[in-house]
Each structure stands twice: as C-alpha cells, then as structure tokens.
Amino acid sequence: MKELTERLGITPRTLRFWEEHGLIGPGRRGNVRVYNPEEVSRIAHIVKLRRAGLSIDEVKSVLYRSRYGRPTDKDIVDRLVQLRKTALEQVALIDELLGQSTGPTVRS
C-alpha cells in the first residue's frame, strides 16, 4: 500500500476512506490489501477526479457509469466545465498579478 500511495501522491488513510465509501474494493491476502492492475488504474482515475474537484458522490457516479458503459452524467460534465472555467479565471488572475509584480523593485 505504501508504494502505491507514494506513487499516486495520496495517503493510506485516503485509500481506506475510498474503500469504506465503496469507490474501490481491493482483494485481500489475510489482512493485506492487494491491488491488481485494474484496481490501480481505477485508483489513479479517482485521484484525477478528486484533484479536478469532484466530490465523493460525483466520483461514485462517474465510476458507476463507466463500469456499466453508460455516458457520463450531464451534471458531472457541467460540473467539470464549471471547474475548468474557474481554474482558467484563476490562472488569468494570477497572470495579471504576476504582470503587475514585474515592474521596478521597490527598495526601502
């Protein structure tokens, strides 16, 4: 588990949380969780969805629909579009602020 969490930049607690909420279901060998390649790919997808800003319930919806070959829910697509718009607005604001800070350095 440690190698997987380090590689994906998440904590073991996060994996356990996702397991408790039904997002993942690793196999077990005794008390040890076993993640097959399909489960690792699913976890990597969850990481991307969460970093994009989706809630646990939204992630569940995406995973459910993809598991059964259904198109992504329009609400999720709309949410991702809104998150993208917000991120682009933040980038523009940061670019503006950086542009303002490139003037002469004030020394005291």
Domains and CATH numbers, the chain: 2-72 (1.10.1660.10)
Give the closest residue to 22 by CA, choosing from 42, 4, 2, 41: 42
Which of 69 and 94 is assigned the larger pLDDT? Answer: 94
Q: Which residues, including other chains, have CB under 8 Å from residue 88's CB and lie 6 or more apart?
A: none
pTM for this model (two decimals): 0.78
pLDDT at residue 96 tops 90: yes
CA 19 to CA 37: how far, in whole Å? 16
Tens of pLDDT, residue by residue over 28-45, are: 999 989 999 999 999 999
- pLDDT averaged over every residue in the chain: 89
The gap between the terminal CA atoms of the chain, to the nearest Å, is 52
Tell me which amino acid residue 92 is. A
